[in-house]
Every structure is written in C-alpha cells, then in structure tokens.
Amino acid sequence: MNSFYAECLDCGNQFHYDPHILKCPRCQSQWSEARYDLATLASVLPARFAARSFDLWRYRELLPVYEYHPSSSMGEGGTPLIHAVNLGMMLGCPNIFIKDERQGPTNSFKDRQAAVGVASLKEAGILEAVLASTGNVAISYSAYAARAGIKLWAFLTSLVPAEKMREVAIYGTQVVKVTASYDQAKLVAAEFARQRGLCLERGARTIPSVEAMKTIAYEIVEQITTQFDTEQRPAHSLPPPWRAPDWYFQSVSGGLGPLGVQKGFSELHAMGLIDKLPAIACIQAEGCAPMVHAWKQGKEVAEPIQSPRTYITTLATGDPGRTYTLLQQRMKAGGGGFFESVSDEETFRAIHILAKMEGVSVEPAAAVAFAGLIKAVRAGHIRPTETVVVNCTGHTMPVEKHVLGEGWARNVVLSAQTMAETPEEGLLAALSRVTADRFPRVAIVDDTPDARILIRRILQSQGEYTIFEAIDGRQAIELANREPLDLMILDLMMPEVDGFGVLDSLKANPQNAHIPVIVVTAKELTPDEKERLRGRIHSLMQKGEFMNDELADEIRALLK
C-alpha cells in the first residue's frame, strides 16, 4: 500500500487523496499536490529502482496510486534517451539528447498521464470520465480507458486534425466535436461533466496528471548518469548518485508537462539524489504564446489569447490560467530557464532537420521544442559544454480514413455571439443536443467479473446505455423486479439460480416477460437445454466466439 497525501497549495491543508475529492476540504481551493515521505524514501529508493524494469512504474512509491496493478500497464514510460550527435554537431553543442516520448503506447508523452490517471480512476471505482483535449490526451486516455473498462467522453475542438480525431474514435471513446476554441471546448466538457456528475480530467489540478509527468525527470537523470558514468569521480567525494542535465526543453500548451517535470527534478533534489536543478525552457507556438508574452513582460499571470493563430493546434491553449503562474514561480525559485516562442515555419523546418539528421520524425507540436532549441543556441543562451535534454513529445500514427467510415462524432457548435451574450445558456443549449435524456437500460448478468467488464466495455464503446450489473441469478431477478429494463444480457452457468432459472422467473412475471434477453454463455448446450431456451430468448452467443461488433449489433438492433 503506497503512502502519500494531498496538500492544498493555498492553505497548506493536508488530506487523504481520492479522485472524487475535487477541492480542499478546508478552503475549497481546487489546487493541491501530492506529497510523499521523501526523507525516508531517499535512502531506499535508488536500490529498489535499480532492481525493477525501466518503465514508469519503477517509481511507483512516488506515484499517487495506492496499489500497483501491473496488469493495466502497456509499457508506458521508460522511453529511450537518444544522443543527437548530428544535430549537436550542427549546433556546436555536442551534448544534446532526445527523450523519445514517441515510443509510448500511443506515441506521445501523454501516455504517462493517461496510464497513471486511469489507474487512479480504476482504483477509485470510477467507470465514466470526461476530458477536453487538443488531441493527444484524448488518444492516450482512450487507449487506457478501453483496457480499464472506463467509458470516456472526449470533447475535441473542431481544429483537431481529423487523423487524431479518428484515432480517438477507434478506441470506442464518445467523441464530441466542439466548433470553438480549445478553451471553450474545456468549458463545454466541464459543464457536461457537472450536469452528469462525471469525473473530469482537470490538467494541472488533477494530481495523477502532474505526478505522471514527473517520471520524465526521474528517467532523464538515471539515463544521463549512465551516459556520463564513464567519467571518473574523485574517490574522496561522496557525490549524489545521479546527474541532472543543464537544460530541459519542452513544447508547451497548457504547461502540465513542464510543471510535472519540474516537480520531479525538485523532489530528486530534495532527496539529495541530484545536486542541482536544471534550467527549463518552455517553448510555445508564436500564434498562441500567452506564457511567452507574460514572461517577457515580467507578469505573474498570463493574459489569455482569444483566437490562436497557428497551424499547430495541439499547442493552442489560449488560457493557461494558474499553471503559468506556478510554473514561472518554480522556475525562478529553482534552476531558472525561460519562455520563448517559435513560428510555424521555424517549427516545420525543425521537423525536416530532425528527420533528416537524426532519423526522428515528429509531429509539429513536438518539433516546437526543437525549433526553440535551435533559436536558443543561435541566441547564445546555451553554452557548448552544457547538457541539453529535449522532450520529443510525440508523433501520432493516424487511423486511415476508410477504417472508420462516417458518423463517429457528435457535434456541438458554439457561436461567438451566444457565448459573448449568455455564456451559461449558450453552453446549456449547445450541450442539450449531445445526448438524449433517457438511455436504454441494460442489465449484465454474469458471475465472472471479467465477463461483466468485457460486456460493459462493449456497451460503453458503442453508445449510451444505463448499465446495471448482477453477479448471480438471484440479484438478476431482484434487479428486474426493481428497475424497468430494456434488455438483459444473461449468462447461463451461475451458482444457485442459473440463467435458466432467471428466464423462468422473468417469463412468469407479466411485468418482466417482455424484457428481451441475449444469452451469452461459455456452455456447450445440450439439445434439451436448447429446447428450454427456444422462443424465450432473443439470441444466443457463445463466449469466446463472438466478436464484440456482433454483440453490439444485436443490442443496437434490439433497442432501436
């Protein structure tokens, strides 16, 4: 059992972490951070880490999940640190390293966030969640939610490239395309979550998200140390076990990444595992660079950009809110650094350089950091002897158009006028068309937990259902008597009252006799048993033999 707690950033209150708790119980602030017993952990962790495989869960004592569940992992984290020899030579800086986050399960650094975030939701028993995204967060969360049996609603601004949207949809996430800016899509998602009482991913205010990002810092110092350990240390000194780079570069949208990575370096420093904090370079796209404007004007609060003007929509967070304020404070108090912007043209040029010189093809959002590095070296901000790590944040592998067909997204259009005049009503009106009021009510009856999860997942990924579960025949009968059901998906082999018994009971009660039943069974039926089902069930599916689409098609046809 992992030991950690949440600490309010406004009043210092310390409380038990639970994803259901969104505010500090004392002052109602939405901003808190995870705290660990670093003093104790410092002496034991390096040896434990060394005995584990190189992935994100290597740092499990420092992650906000109570129990470690290896089964939900897809090998997140543990990405390579590649020495960029050619780029280094071109720039006159021989120690440039690429942290290759393209090698995560969905090809971006957001896989860390999704892996830890979904593990935390699952642990808390949360089955449905909402997020807004410029693409990659939705893709990563969709993959992990699919595995965990969590239904996901992704609100994507209509500016998100179709390739990314299809990638989200292929995982069975409910895609809502919001014709508005990313900041407005976030508002719509938050309102939707509030109306339906669903859990919302809140970026830097979501503890697992920040904590997940910090694993990048831990990995970097371990990897940099290995790179340089051929150097001899003076025998009399007792050095910290690890080395920090001089610089960490990252492309920045909302700022979650650098905020988390900074926290990681700070913890390492607090534990005495590194002897200095790296400087952090946050690079934004020129057409949407609210943090850069604020930094250059010496402001603590960033002025939101209303209409981003960049092709790099992945980075189009117009309003970074408090994340900027925290980030710049911590950079100033820590190892320093700067905020800088680059043009789309500089970014596209960096894509070519990186691919042609280093064999690393990246998406524009990731290339922004490299364009920023090139600019910083040319401006003389980086000394030739310094060690630089650039987070190569991602490269989407698109789902081809013909794979998905049409009709996989819902549309919400926010007109600038309604939003300016009556924002609340505008949001409500726009959302009212996203879903119907009443969803078909489906009971899943199965004594095997994994089978219930699978069937729930099939339903979740196909549309909107109100789902009930019963773990045996007796519960199923009680459920049918209590709730008006539109469909029952029924297992046959269950202890005490089996599926046949449930059917007998349903058919004997005039109120329930009409409920359609799909039998899903692992049982090889005898002719006698087949006879007992004849005329009483809608269809029969063999576990392990039906593909999920067949069950979904049956259900859709029945509930039309």
Ligand X SMILES: Cc1ncc(COP(=O)(O)O)c(C=O)c1O
Positions touching ligand X (CB under 6 A) are 108, 110, 134, 136-137, 251-257, 314-315, 363, 365-366, 393-394
Output the smallest distance, CB 136 to ligand X, in A.
3
Which segments of 222-292 are extended strands (E)?
247-251, 279-285
Q: Which does 8 bind (CB under 5 to 8 A by kind): Zn ion, ligand X, none?
A: Zn ion
Q: Which does 254 bind (CB under 5 to 8 A by kind): Zn ion, ligand X, none?
A: ligand X
Output the smallest distance, CB 185 to Zn ion, in A.
29
Query: Nearest to residue 132, comparing CAs of 196, 101, 175?
Result: 175
**Residue 386 token pair:** 């310094």
Output the smallest distance, CB 15 to Zn ion, in A.
9
Which residues, in sequence order, are CB contacts of 30 under 8 Å at separation 6+?
A: 22, 23, 24, 202, 205
CA dist., res. 134 & res. 157, Å (int): 7
Output the smallest distance, CB 66 to Zn ion, in A.
22
Q: Which does 396 bind (CB under 5 to 8 A by kind): Zn ion, ligand X, none?
A: none
CA dist., res. 344 & res. 536, Å (int): 63
Nearer to ligand X, 175 or 533 (CB): 175
**Residue 475 token pair:** 């519960």
- Residue 77: what are its φ and ψ, rounded to 5°? 75, -170
Nearer to ligand X, 284 or 505 (CB): 284
Nearer to ligand X, 101 or 486 (CB): 101
Nearer to Zn ion, 64 or 77 (CB): 64
Rg (CA), the chain: 26
How many residues sit in the footprint of Zn ion (CB under 5 A)? 8
Q: Which does 13 bind (CB under 5 to 8 A by kind): Zn ion, ligand X, none?
A: Zn ion
In the complex, residue closest to ligand X by CB: 257
Query: Nearest to residue 517, comparing CAs of 533, 532, 534, 537?
Result: 537
Q: Which does 24 bind (CB under 5 to 8 A by kind): Zn ion, ligand X, none?
A: Zn ion
Nearer to Zn ion, 10 or 483 (CB): 10
Output the smallest distance, CB 9 to Zn ion, in A.
8
CA dist., res. 368 & res. 60, Å (int): 31
User: Which long-range contacts does 166-169 make (Cβ < 8 Å, 24+ apart)?
Assistant: 166/398, 166/399, 166/401, 166/403, 166/404, 166/408, 167/106, 167/139, 167/142, 167/396, 167/397, 167/398, 167/399, 168/133, 168/135, 168/138, 168/139, 168/142, 169/399, 169/404, 169/408, 169/409
Q: Which does 26 bind (CB under 5 to 8 A by kind): Zn ion, ligand X, none?
A: Zn ion
In the range 4-63, which residues lie near Zn ion by CB under 5 A? Answer: 8, 10-11, 13, 24, 26-27, 29
Output the smallest distance, CB 497 to ligand X, in A.
50
Nearer to ligand X, 260 or 426 (CB): 260
Output the smallest distance, CB 194 to Zn ion, in A.
21
Nearer to Zn ion, 293 or 322 (CB): 322
Burial class (CB in 10 A: 0-12, 13-18, 19+), 41: middle
Which chain residues interact with Zn ion by CB under 5 A?
8, 10-11, 13, 24, 26-27, 29
